[in-house]
Amino acid sequence: MQLIFEKSRAGRKGFALPEIDVPITGALPEKYCRKTQANLPEVSELDVVRHFSNLSRLNFSVDTNFYPLGSCTMKYNPKFTEKVAAMEGFSGLHPLLPQLLGGGMLAQGSLEVLYNMERLLSEITGMSAFTTQPLAGAHGELTGVMLIAAYHKHNGERRKHIIIPDSSHGTNPASASIAGYDVVVIPTDKEGFLDMRSYKQALNRETAAVMLTCPDTLGLFNPKIKEIADLAHAVGALMYYDGANLNAILGKCRPGDIGFDVIHLNLHKTFATPHGGGGPGAGPVGVCEKLVDFLPISRVVRRTDGTFALDYHKHKSIGYIAPFYGNFGVILKAYAYILALGKSGLIEVSENAVLSANYCLARLKDYYALAYGKSCMHECVLSAARQLEQGVHALDIAKYLIDKGFHPPTIYFPLIVKEAMMIEPTETESKETLDAFIEAMIEAASLSKTNPEALRLAPLSMPVKRLDETRAARVPDLRWQPK
């Protein structure tokens, strides 16, 4: 497919400016004039429309195809939430309004949404309070670690490190490190859980926190989670819950009840708001009672007369972490989703997410090696170790699935699983879709024996064939240049 620059023809135009009917007053100062050619494409309006319409048809999304990208929870984003977020009363509101004298009374509906959302998320996770401000999951993580640091500092303690398992999301050590902590990595034991011996060795009075994902990135729920939390608390460390996988346990157990002190949620995962380019994201952070005072400002409060306001007078607060009140549109969509599903609906979300993943695991375990365990929670991690004997890698299977119309699962993560393929089907897919995907995976397994070359050449049906990813990383070609 040609780039729009390659479609350019000298002199072709998409618009015509009227003749100038005012006097021209001198040239632009020299310093504002560009020295090099802009090299903009010269194309007609039709060229532009066709170019971008065709590009958009190549787009791959959860609205067009099955997207079992493990750990990312690419579930369907129901359209009614878009409608709610587009309501003029919300979308037309100026973000400064609640900060103006008397302005808050004109923004009561939106403030109430934020207030209620905090209460709902607290109820779902068993925490005391939430901030909806963080603009993404990773931003939430950093906010959470900053809250932990503020708590220890307030108690006059200088704690040095944060304990993180080797199966963690890469953002965990990154957040801890940015907040100024050393990272102590704990290996995974043979069953796929945190190695308790190494954990106990690493844990001491210099431990600021233990960051865990539960169920973890292997799709397993750690049966010793309570013991892990108790051990951490015994040395004064806090427990951090990476809520990326909360969608597996909604209404089944609450991180706050287990003993977690800080939690971040990815609204675009568990609560079905759009991801990435369809986003932006939202990563609310919840805390237990003893951390409430440190939450970022502003806080949404309910006055005694029942009206809502923003409170900026929190002297222990870690301060501002984002402009205004977070990605309000995203929070609103998640709020609508939670209200529409209700308690029983949310419980079904988790039950069906776990059922779908176990169905995939049960049907694929004869064809692919299992990383750990015999069952899983909301995602299953398979390994292409058997296929590797024929010289077929997880990457080849992933590329083959593209030809079959499926987004590949996450591959090579978690890092501790050789040739990992991490499948997260989510609760929103039908059995027919799961079966079609499973059949494609089974075909790939049999092709790896009969015709491994076919897998190594995939994808064949796409506008670009197999890309040389190594060369792309070593010699990146990031920008079109005129010849």
Partner 1 sequence: MTIPEDLLYTKDHEWVNIDADKATMGITDFAQNSLGDITFIDLPKIGIQVKQSEWCATVESVKAASDVYAPLSGEVLKVNTELSSHPEMVNKSAYEAGWFAVIKIADLTEKNKLMNFLQYKEYIESLSK
Among 366, 432, 469, 477, binds partner 1 (CB under 8 A): 469
Residues 335, 117 contacting (CB under 8 angstroms): yes
Single-letter amino acid, residue 288: C
Among 3, 58, 339, 415, binds partner 1 (CB under 8 A): 415
Lay out the site mask for partner 1 across 308-337 (x = CB under 8 A, - = otherwise): ------------------------------
Taking the least distance from each CB to partner 1, the nearer of 31 and 474 is 474
Q: Which helix (H) or strand (E) holds 281?
A: none
Taking the least distance from each CB to partner 1, the nearer of 120 and 183 is 183
Among 470, 477, 479, 482, binds partner 1 (CB under 8 A): 470
Taking the least distance from each CB to partner 1, the nearer of 271 and 413 is 413
Taking the least distance from each CB to partner 1, the nearer of 305 and 469 is 469
Nearest CA among 163, 292, 183, 169 for reference residue 235: 163
Q: Is 239 helix (H, G, I), strand (E, B) or coil?
A: strand
Count of residues near partner 1 by CB under 8 A: 8
412 binds partner 1 (CB under 8 A): yes
DSSP string, 384-426: -HHHHTTT--HHHHHHHHHHTT-PPPEES-STTSTTEEEE---
Backbone angles phi, psi at 69, to 5 degrees: -75, 100
Taking the least distance from each CB to partner 1, the nearer of 185 and 196 is 185
Among 473, 477, 478, 479, binds partner 1 (CB under 8 A): 473
Which ranges of 31-132 would DSSP assign to H, the alpha helix? 45-57, 80-85, 88-91, 108-125
Residues 369, 383 contacting (CB under 8 angstroms): yes
Taking the least distance from each CB to partner 1, the nearer of 325 and 413 is 413
- Residue 167: partners with Cβ closer than 8 Å, 6 or more residues away: 188, 192, 213, 216, 217, 218, 414, 415, 416
Taking the least distance from each CB to partner 1, the nearer of 174 and 297 is 174
And the tokens for 439? 């059949």
Residues 362, 380 contacting (CB under 8 angstroms): no
Question: Quick one: which segment of 30-38, 275-283, 372-380, 468-476 binds partner 1 (CB under 8 A)?
Answer: 468-476
477 binds partner 1 (CB under 8 A): no
And the tokens for 440? 């494609």
Find the binding residues for partner 1 in span 416-435 (CB under 8 A). Answer: 418
Lay out the site mask for partner 1 across 367-406 (x = CB under 8 A, - = otherwise): ----------------------------------------
474 binds partner 1 (CB under 8 A): yes
Interacting residues toward partner 1 by CB under 8 A: 412-413, 415, 418, 469-470, 473-474
